[in-house]
Amino acid sequence: MHRWPACFLALLLLCPLLAAGANAEAAAAKPAITAADHHAQDMSWVRLRQRYPETFVTNGSRSSKRVALTFDDAPDPRFTPQILDILKEYNVKATFFVIGYKAQKHKDLVERIHREGHVIGNHSFNHPEFTKLTAAQFQKQIGDTEQIIDETVGYKPRFIRPPYGELMSSQVRWARRHNYTIANWDVDSVDWKSSSSETILRNIRRTLRSGSIVLQHAGGGVGEDLSGTIKALPALIEELEEEGYELVTLPVLLGTEAAK
């Protein structure tokens, strides 16, 4: 039998220990995978529409030539009044998804949105990613904003739009149990990038058709410029009406009520 040198045998025994230590160090260097990471893409919009067709929507009927203009992140005194002025001039009604803390600060604008015949939806209290919230945190975002809207205009909105359009299937099921409708979109203007009016119009034209829900913004963060949205809006309205589209609110498009 061949006799190995003692030093070589010691090295053989030590190698697995060194490898294990290296593996542990590498694992520790990797970011921890959280439950939110596992569920960030819990279910695609297509699957959500298929599974919860009455609760999760991205468009209305394709058989009637109607389109709904929707505006997120309201109210914002920099941009919302200008958008309301244009809608009033053209006698167009739209749907505004409001953020709770903004609605609390600018109740006069929420009242104006309601007074001028537009529909108000719930866009969370402070714009978090719903996919990273616990059930209790998610429900508080909806409930706190709903209370502010109800106290301001006298109804609890049926429509919820999740920030970034993302939420969990469990949150859709909760919405279904409580008579809400999750209203996302099928036409994205991408105006939040401070896009030019030409770019915004091009983005909208690309996918718009009968029954479309168009996403635009009536409010933004620090440094966000929505002047392109405001400049594009008259041209958009005129173009759609010339093409025979009727511009309606979400309840009209979907055949439901604004309040739950």
Instruction: Spell out the domain ranges in the chain.
Output: 45-254
Answer yes or no: are the C-beta atoms of 49 and 193 closer than 8 Å.
no
- Could you tell me which residues are beta bridge partners of residue 259? 157
Which residues are tagged catalytic?
72, 217
- Residue 167 has phi, psi (to 5 degrees) of -160, 170
pLDDT in tens, the chain (260 residues): 444 444 444 444 444 434 444 443 333 333 333 333 334 658 999 999 999 999 999 999 999 999 999 999 999 999 999 999 999 999 999 999 999 999 999 999 999 999 999 999 999 999 999 999 999 999 999 999 999 999 999 999 999 999 999 999 999 999 999 999 999 999 999 999 999 999 999 999 999 999 999 999 999 988 899 999 999 999 999 999 999 999 999 999 999 999 99
Whole-angstrom distance, CA of residue 42 vs CA of residue 22: 33
H/E segment holding residue 90:
helix 80-90
Whole-angstrom distance, CA of residue 56 vs CA of residue 169: 10
Q: Which CATH number fits domain 45-254: 2.30.180.10, 3.20.20.370, 3.30.1360.10, 3.30.2130.10?
A: 3.20.20.370
Whole-angstrom distance, CA of residue 96 vs CA of residue 75: 8
Whole-angstrom distance, CA of residue 134 vs CA of residue 130: 8
CA angle 206, 43, 31 (to 5 degrees): 105
Whole-angstrom distance, CA of residue 181 vs CA of residue 251: 10
Question: Which of 114, 76, 111 minimizes the C-alpha distance to 95?
Answer: 114
